[in-house]
Amino acid sequence: MSLSGKVVIVTGASSGIGAAIAQVLAREGAQLSLVGRNVANLEATQKTLLEKFAGIKVQIVTADVTKDADVIVKKTLDKFGRIDVLVNNAGILGVGGIETLDIEAFDAVLNTNVRGVILLTKATIPHLLKTKGAVVNVSSCAGIRPFAGALSYGVSKAALDQFTKIVALEMAPKGVRVNSVNPGFVVTNIHSAVGIVGDEYQATVQRAINSHPMGRVGDVFEVAEAVAFLASSKASFTTGALFPIDGGKHNFTPK
Ligand code: NDP
C-alpha cells in the first residue's frame, strides 16, 4: 500500500471526485480526515470506507474551506497527531461569460476554488514541513486552456494552477511536493449544483464527449488514482506538475 499510515486531509470528500479520492487513499492505507459541509453525505462516504476497508482510521470534519482552515488542521492533529498529505479537492462551478457575469457569483467561485485552497494550504504547511509531505490540488482542464463561457471557473482554476507551481518552487528545497490533477468532464453533482440539469445537462455531456479526443467523459476513480499517485512516494521526484486527466482534451483543437 503506497500510503500506509499516512494522514491525509481530503476536502470535498462528501461527493463526487472527493468521495472517490477517499476510497482510493483508504485502499492505499491512508488515515483520513473527510472534510465538507454536508454531514449526511460525509457520513455516507465514511460508511463506505468502514465497510470496504477493515481497520481504517477515518473521521468526519464538518467545515467550510472558505473559513474553517484552522478547525480542519486542529481536528486532524487532535485525532492523528500529524499531517502527511493535503488534498484540496473542494470546488464549485461558475457559469457564464463576461457579458452575463454576476460578480458576486464570481467572488464565490474564487473564494472557494482559490482563496479557500490558499488558506488551508497555508495552515497545513507547517505540519507538512515536519513530515516532508505533499499537497495535491484538484484543478481542471479549464485551468490549462480557456473555454468561452466558463469565465469565473477558468480564472479560478488558472489561478490555482499558478498557485500550485509557485508553492511547489517555494517548498521544493524543504521537501514538500505540490502538484495538481486537471480533470476533463467527470459526471458528478457539480453541474446540477449550478442548475445545469435535464436537457441542458444531456447537451453538456454530449459536448464534453465530442471534445474529449478519447470520445468519452471521465470517471471519478480515474481522477482519484492520479491523486493517490501524486500523494505517494511513487511521485517522489515530481513537483509543480499539472497532470491532465482528460482523455486528451488539453490538446484538443475544435474542427
Ligand atoms: P461535487 O459537486 O460532486 O463535489 C464538490 C465537493 O466540494 C463537495 O464534496 C462539497 O462538499 C465540496 N465543497 C464545495 N464548497 C465547499 C466549501 N466551501 N467547504 C467545504 N467543502 C466544499 O463536484 P466534483 O466532485 O465534480 O468536484 C470536485 C473537484 O473536481 C472540484 O474542485 C472541481 O472543480 C473539480 N473538477 C470537476 C470536474 C467535473 O467535471 N466534475 C472537472 C474538472 C475538475 P459539501 O457540499 O459537503 O460542502
pLDDT in tens, 91-128: 999 999 999 999 999 999 999 999 999 999 999 999 99
Dihedrals phi, psi of 89, to nearest 5 degrees: -105, -30
Is pLDDT of 255 > 90?
no
Torsion angle (degrees, nearest 10) of CA 188, 168, 66, 153: -50
Higher per-residue confidence, 154 vs 254:
154
Half-sphere exposure of 44 (CA within 13 A, CB side): 14
Residue given cell 486542529 in the structure block:
74
Query: Pairing state of beta strands 85-88 and 242-245?
Result: unpaired
The Cα 38–Cα 116 span in angstroms is 17
Please work out whether the CB of residue 190 comes within 6 Å of at least one atom of ligand 1.
yes
Alpha-carbon distances, residue 203 vs 190, 197, 200, 206, 250 (angstroms)? 15, 10, 5, 5, 20
Mutate to test the pocket of ligand 1, among 38, 87, 92, 182 (most ligand atoms within 8 A of CB): 92
pLDDT in tens, 182-199: 999 999 999 999 999 999
pLDDT number for residue 76:
98
Burial profile 109-128: b = 16 or more Cβ within 10 angstroms, e = fewer: bbbbbbbbbebbbebbbebb
Kindly give the number of the ligand 1 atom that is closest to the alpha carbon of 141: 43
Please work out whether the CB of residue 203 comes within 6 Å of at least one atom of ligand 1.
no
Give the number of other Cβ atoms within 10 Å of residue 197's Cβ.
Answer: 12
Find all residues with CB under 8 Å of 224, minimum gap 6, and list them: 17, 20, 21, 23, 24, 25
| Residues annotated as part of the active site | 153
Cα 122 to ligand 1 centre (Å): 20
DSSP string, 43-73: HHHHHHHHHHSTT--EEEEE--TTT-HHHHH
Q: Spelled out in words, what is the top-level CATH class assigned to the domain 7-249? A: alpha beta
| Span 129-147, average pLDDT | 97
Cα 89 to ligand 1 centre (Å): 6
- Give the helix/strand (H/E) hosting 134: strand 134-138
ipTM at complex level: 0.99
pTM > 0.95: yes or no: yes
- Taking CA atoms only, the protein residue closest to ligand 1 atom 31 is 91
pLDDT in tens, 155-190: 999 999 999 999 999 999 999 999 999 999 999 999
Question: What band does 253 get if pLDDT is binned at 50, 70 and 90?
Answer: confident
pLDDT number for residue 208:
94
Percent of the chain at pLDDT exceeding 70: 100
Question: What band does 229 get if pLDDT is binned at 50, 70 and 90?
Answer: very high
Question: What band does 134 get if pLDDT is binned at 50, 70 and 90?
Answer: very high
Cβ atoms 179, 241 nearer than 8 A: yes
Please work out whether the CB of residue 165 comes within 6 Å of at least one atom of ligand 1.
no
Please work out whether the CB of residue 50 comes within 6 Å of at least one atom of ligand 1.
no
- Please name the amino acid found at residue 139: S
Question: What band does 88 get if pLDDT is binned at 50, 70 and 90?
Answer: very high
Kindly give the number of the ligand 1 atom that is closest to the alpha carbon of 157: 34
Domain ranges of the chain: 7-249
pLDDT in tens, 21-54: 999 999 999 999 999 999 999 999 999 999 999 9
Is pLDDT of 254 > 90?
no
Quick one: residue 243, left, alpha or beta (phi over 0 = left, psi -120 to 50 = alpha)? Answer: beta
